[in-house]
């Protein structure tokens, strides 16, 4: 009996949805006449394609694809690289290695790209530094980023500044890391620098400074939009936990 009631409830819900969203009236008839099968057809034919085409749908579809074959994009990039060994194909191949945390392979390819007219390309140098960071070669990261800045003084990248701060911290050069994090914490697009700086202050026993930073992150999350909070939920959760929030 419960199945009958559930079926009727679903028919009402999806029938109203079809009417309110301006679907062809035939779908209302299909839902009424064929019950669960009609609802299933409505979802598969009308709703699913629309949902998969949405931004969220594309993200889920991409995640499913990566779960089924996590190296699909890598294989495609490798095939293109093996057919024609251009700098761009090499970079695409290296990027796929980087995404899969295969840092040694990525670093090797990036090193081969840093030659000739691309020897001081800031984007390639930044990617090289990311590969070095993945290998915990913190001093190498700092060295590459310093060369990047010297060769490209007008190149501005908060991402590279954050990476340098993290490398300085990883190398144990804490005062320098604090300086970098402080420069980033007030104007970076995410709360990551502020939270990482707060963690350093906590480790040093300075709970007041750490608390101020965590509180600033919580306040920012209140006024920020849904997308900001969704993209930074782990940092926001950490900050709330530290200030005693939920």
What is the reported pLDDT for 3? 67
DSSP 69-87: -TTHHHHHHHHHHHH---H
End-to-end Cα, the chain, rounded Å:
42
Note if the pTM is more than 0.85. no
DSSP 136-184: T-HHHHHHHHHHHHHH-TT---HHHHHHHHHHHHHTT-HHHHHHHHHHH
For 34-49, the pLDDT digits (tens) are 887 877 877 877 777 7
Residue 63 confidence (pLDDT) above 60: no
Tokens 């060295």, residue? Answer: 143
Residue 226 confidence (pLDDT) above 90: no
In percent, the amount of the chain with pLDDT more than 70 equals 89
For 90-145, the pLDDT digits (tens) are 999 999 999 999 999 999 999 999 999 999 999 999 999 999 999 999 999 999 99
pLDDT range class, residue 186, cuts 50, 70, 90: confident
What is the reported pLDDT for 68? 56
Strands (E), the chain: none
For 15-26, the pLDDT digits (tens) are 788 888 778 787
Cβ-based neighbour number of residue 90 at 10 Å: 20
Cα separations (Å) of 217 from 3, 104, 161, 224, 241? Answer: 48, 35, 19, 10, 11
Domain boundaries, the chain: 2-66, 189-246
Mean pLDDT taken over the chain: 87
Structure tokens at 93: 């191949």
Who has greater pLDDT, 87 or 43? 87
């Amino acid at each position: 009996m419960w199945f009958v009631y559930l079926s009727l409830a679903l028919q009402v819900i999806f029938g109203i949805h079809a009417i309110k969203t301006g679907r062809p009236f035939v779908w209302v008839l299909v839902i009424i006449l064929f019950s669960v099968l009609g609802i299933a057809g409505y979802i598969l034919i009308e709703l699913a394609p629309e949902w998969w085409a949405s931004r969220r749908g594309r993200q889920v579809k991409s995640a499913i694809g990566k779960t089924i074959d996590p190296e699909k994009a890598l294989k495609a990039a490798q095939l293109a690289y093996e057919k024609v060994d251009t700098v761009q194909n090499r970079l695409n191949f290296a990027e796929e290695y980087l995404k899969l945390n295969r840092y040694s392979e990525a670093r090797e390819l990036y090193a081969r790209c840093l030659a000739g007219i691309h020897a001081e390309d800031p984007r390639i140098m930044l990617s090289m530094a990311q590969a070095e960071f993945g290998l915990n070669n913190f001093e190498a990261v700092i060295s590459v980023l310093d060369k990047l800045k010297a060769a490209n003084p007008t190149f501005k990248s908060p991402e590279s500044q954050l990476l340098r701060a993290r490398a300085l911290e990883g190398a144990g050069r804490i005062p320098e890391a604090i300086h970098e994090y402080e420069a980033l914490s007030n104007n970076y697009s995410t709360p990551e620098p502020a939270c990482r700086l707060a963690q350093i202050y906590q480790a040093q026993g300075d709970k007041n400074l750490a608390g101020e930073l965590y509180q600033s992150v919580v306040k920012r999350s209140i006024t920020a939009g849904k997308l900001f909070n969704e993209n930074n939920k782990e940092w926001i959760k950490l900050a709330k936990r530290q200030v005693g929030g939920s």
